[in-house]
Chains A and B, each alone.
Chain A
Amino acid sequence: MVELTRREFLSGLAGFTAAGILLGCSRPSTPTPVEQAGKPVYGGTVIFGSPADAEILNPILHNDTASSNVTDRIFDPVLRVDPLTGQPAPWLAERWTVSDDGLTYTFYLRRGVRWHDGEEFTAHDVKFTFEAILDPRTRTVRKSNYDMIVGARARIDGKAAETEGIRVVDDYTLEITLQEPFCPFLIQGMVRGVIPRHLLEKSEDINRDEFNRRPVGTGPFKFKEWVKGDHITLVRNEDWWGRPGGPYIDQYIRKVVPDSTVVTAQLKTGDIDVGSIEPSDLDELEREEDLTIYRYDDLGYTYIGYNVSRPPLDDKRVRWALSLAVDTDSIIRTVLRGEGVRVAGHIPPASWAYNPNIKPPEYNPQRARQLLEQAGFKPGPDGIMQRGDQTLRFTLWVPAGQKIREQVAIIAKDQWKQIGVDVDIQFQEWNAFLERLRQGNFDLVISGYSLGVDPNPRAFWHSAELAPRGFNRIRYRNPEVDRLIEETVKVPGCDPEKRKRLYWRFQEILADDQPFNFLYSLKALVAIKRSIVGPNPTTFGGVFHNLHDWYIAK
């Protein structure tokens, strides 16, 4: 997820997909006695209450966290994101090798893995999955995740019936050849759930197949029922390859609870066992004896963005002055109730590529004012700074209904006033807000980004991705940043240390340029019933990565 949608934000849900989260383990606010108790017991149901219903239960088609929360339990990927380190780890593939030139990947798949309908899983299923994504008729935004594979372009454009670079060597060996080295390939391409060839090969139209609402996978849980708008029920897959007997719990239910207030209420009544919560509900829920609160660092962050294509925001000194004038630390203390981390750049502390040497702008209104004066601004008759015919009056756009961001906007407006900058706040419905960003119709904006597990920042900062086409919505262009972004993905041997150095440099440039006032990364907060043993939410795995290990203490 790149930007947190309104509903996700409301529920503080952001983190639980693969794009999720870090710093190893989270810690429960208080240890539960049963956690030491030991022997897992079978049985019981875990109910997760969350605002959104899933859209479509096919991992190659969906793009919402609700759907992936369900399909991640039903389908297995070839590799998974290690929940603790964020690195690719064996899953359906027991191991893999990379050729010396970094172009050919060979995956050795597990034997004896069966689909929920009893058919055997083979390398043909993996090839089928990627071919389906690249098929021009398939309506998915994932095609470019695979466009570096040899022959993928021709396949996307409908000029080839098959992708040359995806080769089934035998039933348990798959070989993928890339056009050029692409370091995030494994974590971007190979962690997607594999779909069954035998059920979808003959599909008239995969976009509309009944499979998408009655999925069949190889994962620890099997699909049971989906009452649209109400709940989805999954049951234990006793024949799961990962553990004889399958998961300990009988059922996992994802229940739609449209309002965060009601999530809190249902956590208290016991109608749901797991729910994401907001900092404002913390005090209330921490008092509940039946609940444990887990916190973990999120890969997302909230920012105030400057439209660098609009004067005088194209002047770095103006941007720095605006950033220095906002007291982010006190926002974290008060609005976030301490449940956030200050960030200084695009890559937050939870990521391996984070550069700890960059310091965020310290709150300093005097310095901010000096900068404006250096830039030639003087207070006008109404106290608002001006330079020639330019007056520092801006409109700040805020997504409506996102309580925390609304409060941040109000505080910032007040503090900007102190340095002679007049800001008008406008709230707008989420989708309309995104359209405004896409069209570049704004001065200042509060929004959020969430990084993928791989920190590749191309989508947001490369000039090839300028809005309205791509996600670079503040219209940032910097040739050196472009070059660094391109280099990081093709470092010889994908040496993490070398990639890190390039990312560090990228963060330095961005922090100096200050196209955003990078504000904070809000901790993900989740409440789980105390009798449930096993949850260990992490930055990279989210809440449910080890659901198959959870059990309910008797």
Chain B
Amino acid sequence: MTKFVLRRLLQAIPTLLGISILIFAVIRLAPGDPVNLFFDPTIKGEDLERMRRQLGLDRPLYIQYIDWVTNLARGDFGRSFVTREPVLSRILERLPNTIQLSLAAVVIALLVGPTLGILAATHRGGLIDQLVRVLAVVVDAVPNFWLGLMLILVLAVQLRLFPSGGMYTLRGAFMPPLLDRLWHLVLPALVLAAGPIALYSRLMRTEMLEVLSQDYIRTARAKGLAEGVVLYGHALRNALLPIITVLGGTLPFLFGGAVVTESVFSWPGMGRLFVDAAYSRDYPMVLGIAIIASVLVVLGQLLSDILYGIVDPRIRYS
């Protein structure tokens, strides 16, 4: 097991190196640069030239890449062009907020998605089944930003049930800080969970139907076990397997979703940091976030492989 984990981690290094080249190429070949955003009628062309020089943008691209990647190997992510702070500390400042949001979304998705799937499977062809399937398709088809804006307009602005954004109340909070925080978390987490809910419910329904037609379920029923025990004691355990497989794959998906969701809900996480950095061509920041996100995705996949082995003892690590 330890060997397996170690090998997987080592394998990740060339993957990350490849990603670094890819991301560097993508962001640097995109038209534009950070100095373009400097405007003021009192600025002269020479000021802009000097700035490009000071940022090191006048050097050949491959040298800039080599510089960056060697520093990275030493753990130095460089400094933001915009705020001039160390990239890593900026990311670490924001990362907990994104993790918080993503975890909340995963929890919601894991609670709601499979439950809907089970309901649909056990009521196959019935009204509930239809509803769940339609819901899954609709939620999956609706873009996150739209869903977010709609929830804000209806639940926050019209009904005033939830705050319309931010992480906590800035003025006149009427509940303790922890509750206030959770209250702010509900809508963005729900939006972020929408995609996974749709995925899990569909997956769960299919798996459940498959499992329910297995011999051992028939045996269990024949033994006279209560339906609840059959469903949750026998069927669910096996039907959960594929969900755990896709759990690791949900991570990059969540990060992608966080980029949009965080922007709509003013959630100060890594996703929004990435969007802002991309617009301002803050190269060190964009690259730093991409690398950290890639590391998280690799770790997430590893985790789901390990989990897979735990729930299904037939899986061997070799």
Chain A contacts to B: CB under 8 angstroms:
1-3, 5-7, 19, 45, 47, 52-53, 55-56, 61, 63-64, 139, 141-145, 184, 188, 207-208, 212-213, 227-231, 253, 255-259, 261-262, 265-266, 268-269, 271, 429-432, 434-436, 438, 449-452, 456-460, 464-466, 469-471
- The contact string, 1 if C-beta is below 8 Å from chain A, for chain B 32-56, is 1100111111111111111100110
Interface hit among B5-13, B83-91, B102-110, B245-253:
B83-91
Structural contact, A269 and B268, CB atoms closer than 8 A:
no
Structural contact, B272 and A55, CB atoms closer than 8 A:
no
**Tier of interface size on chain B:** 35 or more
Structural contact, A431 and B32, CB atoms closer than 8 A:
yes
Structural contact, B160 and A269, CB atoms closer than 8 A:
yes
Q: Which A-chain residue is minimally distant from B279 (CB atoms)?
A: A431
Interfacial chain B residues near A145, Cβ < 8 Å: 42-43
Does B133 reach chain A (CB closer than 8 Å)?
no
Structural contact, B43 and A435, CB atoms closer than 8 A:
no
User: A2 to B36, alpha carbons, bound, how many Å?
Assistant: 11
Structural contact, B268 and A227, CB atoms closer than 8 A:
yes
Q: Which A-chain residue is minimally distant from B50 (CB atoms)?
A: A143
Structural contact, B31 and A229, CB atoms closer than 8 A:
no
Q: Which B-chain residue is minimally distant from A3 (CB atoms)?
A: B39
Structural contact, A431 and B281, CB atoms closer than 8 A:
yes
Structural contact, A432 and B30, CB atoms closer than 8 A:
yes
Given contacts A253-B171, A470-B44, list 8 more A-B pairs with CB under 8 A.
A2-B41, A52-B276, A141-B43, A229-B272, A231-B166, A262-B266, A265-B156, A435-B32
Structural contact, B170 and A459, CB atoms closer than 8 A:
no
Check A229/B32 contact, CB under 8 A, given A144-B46, A469-B48.
no
Instruction: Label chain A's interface by main secondary structure.
Output: mixed
Q: Which of B125-170 contact A (CB under 8 A)?
A: 149, 152-153, 156-157, 160, 163-167, 170
User: A45 to B173, alpha carbons, bound, how many Å?
Assistant: 13
Structural contact, B40 and A141, CB atoms closer than 8 A:
yes
Complex A-B: 9 CB contacts under 8 Å: A139-B54, A139-B84, A257-B266, A259-B264, A269-B156, A271-B163, A271-B170, A470-B44, A471-B41
State how many angstroms separate the Cβ of A190 from the closest Cβ of chain B.
Answer: 12
Structural contact, B36 and A438, CB atoms closer than 8 A:
yes
Does B20 reach chain A (CB closer than 8 Å)?
no
- From A188, A258, A465, give the contact of B266 (CB < 8 A): A258
State how many angstroms separate the Cβ of B84 from the closest Cβ of chain A.
Answer: 5
State how many angstroms separate the Cβ of A125 from the closest Cβ of chain B.
Answer: 22
Check A434/B32 contact, CB under 8 A, given A143-B50, A144-B47, A269-B164.
yes
User: A64 to B84, alpha carbons, bound, how many Å?
Assistant: 14
User: A207 to B170, alpha carbons, bound, how many Å?
Assistant: 30
Structural contact, B45 and A465, CB atoms closer than 8 A:
yes
Interfacial chain B residues near A53, Cβ < 8 Å: 276
Does B94 reach chain A (CB closer than 8 Å)?
yes
Check A139/B51 contact, CB under 8 A, given A230-B266, A435-B32.
yes
State how many angstroms separate the Cβ of B262 from the closest Cβ of chain A.
Answer: 8
Structural contact, B54 and A259, CB atoms closer than 8 A:
no
- The contact string, 1 if C-beta is below 8 Å from chain A, for chain B 249-285, is 0000000000000011010110011001001110000
User: A417 to B85, alpha carbons, bound, how many Å?
Assistant: 51
State how many angstroms separate the Cβ of A510 from the closest Cβ of chain B.
Answer: 15
Check A141/B38 contact, CB under 8 A, given A228-B268, A436-B31.
yes
Structural contact, B170 and A255, CB atoms closer than 8 A:
yes
Check A228/B170 contact, CB under 8 A, given A145-B42, A213-B85, A265-B153.
no
Top 6 closest pairs, chain A to chain B, by CB: A229-B268, A470-B45, A431-B32, A469-B45, A2-B39, A432-B31
Does B234 reach chain A (CB closer than 8 Å)?
no
Does B210 reach chain A (CB closer than 8 Å)?
no
User: A342 to B166, alpha carbons, bound, how many Å?
Assistant: 39
Interfacial chain B residues near A229, Cβ < 8 Å: 94, 268-269, 272-273
Structural contact, B263 and A471, CB atoms closer than 8 A:
no
Chain B contacts to A: CB under 8 angstroms:
30-33, 36-51, 54-55, 79, 82-85, 90, 93-94, 149, 152-153, 156-157, 160, 163-167, 170-171, 263-264, 266, 268-269, 272-273, 276, 279-281
Interfacial chain B residues near A459, Cβ < 8 Å: 40-44
Structural contact, A430 and B166, CB atoms closer than 8 A:
no
Q: Which B-chain residue is minimally distant from A261 (CB atoms)?
A: B149
User: A430 to B31, alpha carbons, bound, how many Å?
Assistant: 10
Which of B44, B93, B152, B264 gathers most chain A CB within 10 Å? Answer: B44
Interfacial chain A residues near B164, Cβ < 8 Å: 262, 265-266, 269, 271
State how many angstroms separate the Cβ of A530 from the closest Cβ of chain B.
Answer: 17
Interfacial chain A residues near B94, Cβ < 8 Å: 228-229
Structural contact, B157 and A268, CB atoms closer than 8 A:
yes
User: A64 to B50, alpha carbons, bound, how many Å?
Assistant: 18
Q: Which B-chain residue is minimally distant from A212 (CB atoms)?
A: B84
- From A1, A139, A256, give the contact of B268 (CB < 8 A): A256
- From B42, B152, B269, give the contact of A265 (CB < 8 A): B152
Q: Which A-chain residue is minimally distant from B80 (CB atoms)?
A: A55
User: A61 to B166, alpha carbons, bound, how many Å?
Assistant: 28
Q: Which A-chain residue is minimally distant from B275 (CB atoms)?
A: A258
Interfacial chain B residues near A430, Cβ < 8 Å: 279
User: A253 to B55, alpha carbons, bound, how many Å?
Assistant: 32
Structural contact, B264 and A262, CB atoms closer than 8 A:
yes
State how many angstroms separate the Cβ of A543 from the closest Cβ of chain B.
Answer: 19
User: A45 to B170, alpha carbons, bound, how many Å?
Assistant: 10
Q: Which A-chain residue is minimally distant from B30 (CB atoms)?
A: A432
Q: Which A-chain residue is minimally distant from B169 (CB atoms)?
A: A271
Q: Which B-chain residue is minimally distant from A187 (CB atoms)?
A: B42
Interfacial chain A residues near B79, Cβ < 8 Å: 208
Structural contact, B156 and A471, CB atoms closer than 8 A:
no
Q: Which A-chain residue is minimally distant from B269 (CB atoms)?
A: A229
Interfacial chain B residues near A141, Cβ < 8 Å: 38, 40, 43, 47-48, 50-51
State how many angstroms separate the Cβ of B292 from the closest Cβ of chain A.
Answer: 16
Interfacial chain A residues near B266, Cβ < 8 Å: 230, 255-258, 262
Structural contact, A269 and B51, CB atoms closer than 8 A:
no
User: A262 to B264, alpha carbons, bound, how many Å?
Assistant: 8
State how many angstroms separate the Cβ of B128 from the closest Cβ of chain A.
Answer: 34
Check A5/B37 contact, CB under 8 A, given A213-B85, A258-B272, A432-B32.
yes
Interfacial chain A residues near B82, Cβ < 8 Å: 55-56
Structural contact, B84 and A56, CB atoms closer than 8 A:
yes
State how many angstroms separate the Cβ of B281 from the closest Cβ of chain A.
Answer: 6
Interfacial chain A residues near B42, Cβ < 8 Å: 142, 144-145, 184, 188, 452, 456, 459
State how many angstroms separate the Cβ of A138 from the closest Cβ of chain B.
Answer: 9
